[in-house]
């Protein structure tokens, strides 16, 4: 199966296969900023061509002849900032107000193709089609739970599966008011960080999501649910700060008045603790919120369940957090999953209190969501409350999250994993 590409004329200029991952010889043909690559696929030879705007994965059957593909790596229209739209519009000799019209069609009227943009001249629409991709994400499954948490499984243009969770109004979730609808979105396909308790890491990392794939989760969830989303948490699949440029480009569009218009203070990025990127995020002008997945109050406990702690230990991470807090003048949130007999002891609670007070941060305690195939479990409700009261007795602002959607496998990565396993069973 070959995806993400279109057949094109020979001669080809490059061959890149998994078997020979040497630097591909690619000659680029540039038309304004559209780029095209010619790739040759050989029979029965797995091939993978990766470019920041395009992914081609394929294998031809043995009996097939060689096939040449023309791969267009045009940027997606929903990955473009307003200034880039204006630049493109003027390159195409159209008046600048066309950029505003395009943005309106994308983010207000929610067009699903250039053809929908009926007040743009037809010839201009054709040029846009040549210059930009307009990818769509396809809804594969929607699960709703009793408390109306909804979980979406989406398929991307290269067949990758990602998931998003729509959480109904909930008091004080990440600093938001109680009337806000929150969506938890993914930033990568899979995750490379391999936390021991997490479904997203179980099958490893495939690729980063592009800005349009991040934004489309919000647009598609609004369309599917009929709800207006006004709070975004980057707590789905993947490590957002490992996909920094695409994440920031998506956030700029989510936040912009010409884009989705969601205030920076209603956008929370969660990280497993990439200390250098926390510092980098501190330099960004937007006042987005930061949540740190701590899950252990000592290197010993954290290191057992989060491999990232070996690269950036607690002190390195907390120093980066000090820096973030000083630059942003806002309170950080520490996420702390309670896992029975792993990180739920009174001693961990006391040490956690010390860490949180040092940063004047707050804590979200999250009872662990069971993941199929993993042996971890959540402590009893009494133990959860005891952990919470140790924190509160020490003056720490802490909440114990009632895990919405426990009944629909709401923890990140689980629906995808379950669906992939079902599909594998069907194929075999």
Query: Which residues contact ligand SAH by CB under 6 A?
Result: 197-198, 235, 239, 270-272, 293, 335, 337, 366, 368-369, 371, 411-412
Question: Is 307 in a helix, a strand, or coil?
Answer: coil
Least distance (Å) between residue 366 CB and ligand SAH: 5
Residue 212: contacted member of ligand SAH, ligand SF4, none (CB under 5 to 8 Å, by partner type): none
- Count other Cβ atoms within 10 Å, centred on residue 344: 23
What tokens does 383 get? 């133990």
Residue 201 contact partner, candidates ligand SF4, ligand SAH, none, CB within 5 to 8 A by sort of partner: ligand SF4
* Pairwise CA distance, residues 428 & 418, whole Å: 16
Q: Which contacts (CB < 8 Å, 24+ apart) does range 281-287 have?
A: 281/241, 281/244, 281/324, 282/323, 282/324, 282/327, 282/328, 283/327, 284/248, 286/251, 286/252, 286/255, 287/328, 287/330
Residue by residue, DSSP assigns 115-149 as GG-TTS-HHHHHHHHHH-B----EEEEEEE-TT--
How far is residue 270's CA from residue 195's CA, in Å, rounded to a whole number? 14
Q: Are 239 and 64 in contact (CB under 8 A)?
A: no
Q: How many CB atoms within 10 Å of residue 308?
A: 22
> Which of residues 69 and 197 has its CB atom nearest to ligand SAH in the complex?
197
Q: Which residues pair with 154 in a beta bridge?
A: 139, 162
Nearest CB to ligand SF4, comparing residues 201 and 379: 201
**Least CB distance from residue 417 to ligand SF4, whole Å?**
12
Residue reference for tokens 């559209």: 34
Instruction: Give min distance, CB of 190 to ligand SAH, in A.
Output: 11
Distance from first CA to last CA of the chain, Å, rounded? 17
Sign of CA dihedral 322, 324, 339, 353: positive
Q: Is 239 exposed, middle or buried (0-12, 13-18, 19+ CB in 10 A)?
A: buried
Q: Which does 74 bind (CB under 5 to 8 A by kind): ligand SF4, ligand SAH, none?
A: none
Shorter beta-carbon distance to ligand SF4: residue 201 or 211: 201
Whichever of 186 and 255 has its CB closer to ligand SAH, that residue is: 186
For residues 150 and 272, which CB has a smaller minimum distance to ligand SAH in the complex?
272
State the minimum distance, in angstroms, from the CB of residue 291 to ligand SF4. 11
Q: What is the distance between the alpha carbons of residues 133 and 54, in angstroms, rounded to a whole number?
A: 10
Question: Among ligand SAH, ligand SF4, none, what does residue 235 contact (CB within 5–8 Å per kind)?
Answer: ligand SAH
Cβ proximity to ligand SF4, 71 vs 366, nearer residue: 366
Query: 4 touches which of ligand SF4, ligand SAH, none (CB within 5 to 8 A by kind)?
Result: none
Catalytic residue among 5, 198, 321, 412: 412
Active site residue 163: yes
Q: Where are the beta strands (DSSP E) in 212-316?
A: 231-234, 267-271, 289-293
Catalytic residue among 75, 94, 163, 213: 163
Binding residues (CB under 6 A) for ligand SF4: these are 191, 193-195, 198, 200-201, 238-239, 272, 293, 412
Choosing among ligand SAH, ligand SF4, none, which partner's interface includes residue 371 (Cβ < 5 to 8 Å by kind)? ligand SAH
> For the sheet containing 267-271, what is the strand order?
138-144, 150-155, 161-167, 182-184, 231-234, 267-271, 289-293, 333-338, 362-367, 397-400
Q: Which is nearer to ligand SAH, 37 or 368 (CB)?
A: 368
CB of 411 to ligand SF4, least distance (A): 9
Residue 208 C-beta: closest distance to ligand SAH, Å? 13
How far apart, in whole angstroms, are the C-alpha atoms of residue 162 and residue 152? 8
The total number of residues shown for the chain amounts to 428
| Min dist. Cβ of residue 371 to ligand SAH (A) | 5
Residue 149's binding partner among ligand SAH, ligand SF4, none (Cβ under 5 to 8 angstroms by kind) is none
The catalytic residues are 163, 412
């Amino acid at each position: 199966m070959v995806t993400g590409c279109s057949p094109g004329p020979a001669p080809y200029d490059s061959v890149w296969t998994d078997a020979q991952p040497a630097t591909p010889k690619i000659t680029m043909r540039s038309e304004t900023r559209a780029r095209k690559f010619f790739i040759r696929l050989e029979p029965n030879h797995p091939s993978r061509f990766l470019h920041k705007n395009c992914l081609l994965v394929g294998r031809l059957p043995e009996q097939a002849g060689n096939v040449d593909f023309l791969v267009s790596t045009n940027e997606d229209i929903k990955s473009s900032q307003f200034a880039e739209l204006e630049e493109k519009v003027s390159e195409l000799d159209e008046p600048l107000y066309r950029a505003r019209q395009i943005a309106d069609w994308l983010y207000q009227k929610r067009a699903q193709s250039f053809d929908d943009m009926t007040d743009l001249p037809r010839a201009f629409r054709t040029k846009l089609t040549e210059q930009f991709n307009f990818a769509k994400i396809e809804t594969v499954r929607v699960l709703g739970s009793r408390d109306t948490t909804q979980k979406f499984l989406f398929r991307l243009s290269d067949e990758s599966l990602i998931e998003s969770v729509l959480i109904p109004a909930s008091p004080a979730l990440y600093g938001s008011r109680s009337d806000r609808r929150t969506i938890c979105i993914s930033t990568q396909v899979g995750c490379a960080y391999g936390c021991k308790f997490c479904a997203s890491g179980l099958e490893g990392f495939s690729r980063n999501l592009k800005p349009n794939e991040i934004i489309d989760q919000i647009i598609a969830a609004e369309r599917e649910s009929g709800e207006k989303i006004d709070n975004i948490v980057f707590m789905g699949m993947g490590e957002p700060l490992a996909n920094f440029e695409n994440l920031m480009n998506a956030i700029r569009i989510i936040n912009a008045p010409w884009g989705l218009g969601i205030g920076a203070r209603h956008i929370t990025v969660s990280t497993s603790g990439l200390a250098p990127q926390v510092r980098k995020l501190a330099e960004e002008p937007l006042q987005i919120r930061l949540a740190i997945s701590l899950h252990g109050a000592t290197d010993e406990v954290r290191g057992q369940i989060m491999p990232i702690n070996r690269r950036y230990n607690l002190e390195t991470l907390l120093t980066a957090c000090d820096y973030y807090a000083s630059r942003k003048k806002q309170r950080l949130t520490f996420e702390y999953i309670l896992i029975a007999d792993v990180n739920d002891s009174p001693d961990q609670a006391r040490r956690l209190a010390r860490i949180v007070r040092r940063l004047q941060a707050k804590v979200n305690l999250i009872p662990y969501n069971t993941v199929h195939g993993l042996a971890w479990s959540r402590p009893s409700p009494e133990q959860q409350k005891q952990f919470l009261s140790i924190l509160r007795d020490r003056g720490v602002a802490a909440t114990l999250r009632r895990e919405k959607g426990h009944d629909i496998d709401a923890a990140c990565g689980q629906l995808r994993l379950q669906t992939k396993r079902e599909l594998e069973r069907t194929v075999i």
